[in-house]
Amino acid sequence: MLDRATPSVTKKLMKKYNLFPKKRLGQNFLLDRNVLIKIADSCGIASHEYVVEIGPGLGGLTQELSARSRGVLAIEIDTSLEPALMELASENNNVTFLFQDVLKVNIEAELRRAFKLEQMVPYQVCANIPYNITTPIIFQLLEECPNMQAATLLMQKEVGDRILAAPGNKEYGRLTLSTAYYADVKHIMNVSRNCFYPQPEVDSSVLRLIPNKIKRYPVKNEEIFRKLLLVAFQKRRKTILNITSGFFNISKEETRNILTEIGLKEELRPENLSIEDVIRLVNAFVQ
Ligand code: SAM
């Protein structure tokens, strides 16, 4: 089988199908087989498991996922890649491609349809995700994919650093807290920009997100939790007294009392709060 993650095969495929890398779609192809093997190995995919890949590109990672799993559903927005990917599908009969914008599809419904599953089964996501829509993809996976067992994602290092940031750090924010609420996060590896064609301006990292199905500390209202994070980190220099009093539309006096009751100092700023603090805060203000 052709190794699609080499410069020569990539060039050959691009020439054959008159393709060129599209920057607006974040097309930076990972051309290092050892890195692809490490990423796929880190998923620990069982042979009976299905995998969803987002943005297969020319199929370098798809080849690794296909070799390890029961089936791969690969969702790609760029229809010009279809002939090159169909060639791969003809060599790997457990791979199905869906040419759509991943942000507009119901991933679990498509997985069921692709493999004619009578009921939903646990599955993993593994992908080198496009730079321009990294955050929306992460939110989609964490909030809309209840049966997903884990997502192993290659992303720009700066986004990975934001997810892994500690309180008080300038990278610490909405993405850190939302991810921490929905999942346990593990750093797998960093990947140099030199491994990609075309070479991006930044390095990347691979993170594995494992959704925590049973939350240790659930929030009473997830919608309010999400909205509060959005508002709080738009005003990160404001104190939590001002943010919560404005957000919940209650007097400073009453807000102060509630914050004291739950042991949070009113002059703290959102970046000082741990995920447990935010949950405590939401639950104290929501009936
Ligand atoms: N998996 C390949 C690799 O590792 O070499 C390509 C990864 S490349 C960083 C990102 C891929 O995502 C591209 O193939 C791009 O066309 C695709 N893509 C971009 N936006 C997308 C979207 N909204 N839905 C699905 N795929 C998308």
Residues in the chain, total: 287
Ligand 1: atom nearest CA of 57 is 14
Q: Is there an atom of ligand 1 within 6 Å of 133 CB?
A: yes
Q: Is there an atom of ligand 1 within 6 Å of 64 CB?
A: no
Q: Is there an atom of ligand 1 within 6 Å of 56 CB?
A: yes
Counting the structural domains of the chain, the total is 2
Ligand 1: atom nearest CA of 131 is 9
Whether 176 and 272 have beta carbons less than 8 Å apart is answered as no
Residue 91 falls within a domain, yes or no? yes
- pLDDT of 236 reads 83
- pLDDT (tens digit per residue) in 212-258: 977 778 999 999 999 999 999 998 889 999 999 999 999 999 999 99
Residue 216 falls within a domain, yes or no? no
Ligand 1: atom nearest CA of 196 is 5
Q: Which two tokens stand for residue 123?
A: 């599955």
Q: How far is CA 243 from CA 9, 239, 264, in A?
A: 54, 6, 13
> DSSP strand E in the chain: where?
29-30, 50-54, 71-75, 95-98, 123-128, 148-156, 183-191, 196-197, 204-211
CATH of the domain at 43: 3.40.50.150
- pLDDT (tens digit per residue) in 69-91: 999 999 999 999 999 999 999 99
Same domain, 83 and 198: yes
For residues 85 and 79, give the distance between their C-alpha atoms in angstroms, rounded to a whole number. 10
Q: Given ligand 1 and candidates 11, 77, 104, which is best to mutate, with the most ligand atoms within 8 Å of its CB?
A: 77
- pLDDT (tens digit per residue) in 136-187: 999 999 999 999 999 999 999 999 999 999 999 999 999 999 999 999 999 9
Q: Does position 67 have pLDDT exceeding 90, yes or no?
A: yes
For residues 206 and 163, give the distance between their C-alpha atoms in angstroms, rounded to a whole number. 11
Residues forming beta bridges with residue 52, ordered by sequence position:
73, 125
Q: Is there an atom of ligand 1 within 6 Å of 110 CB?
A: no
Domain span at 140: 7-211
Same domain, 112 and 205: yes
| Averaged pLDDT score across all residues of the chain | 96
Residue 108 falls within a domain, yes or no? yes
Same domain, 105 and 201: yes
Rounded to an integer, the average pLDDT of 1-22 is 95
CA 282 – ligand 1 centroid, Å: 36
Residue 217 falls within a domain, yes or no? no
CA 133 – ligand 1 centroid, Å: 10
- pLDDT (tens digit per residue) in 107-131: 999 999 999 999 999 999 999 999 9
CA 186 – ligand 1 centroid, Å: 23
- pLDDT of 189 reads 98
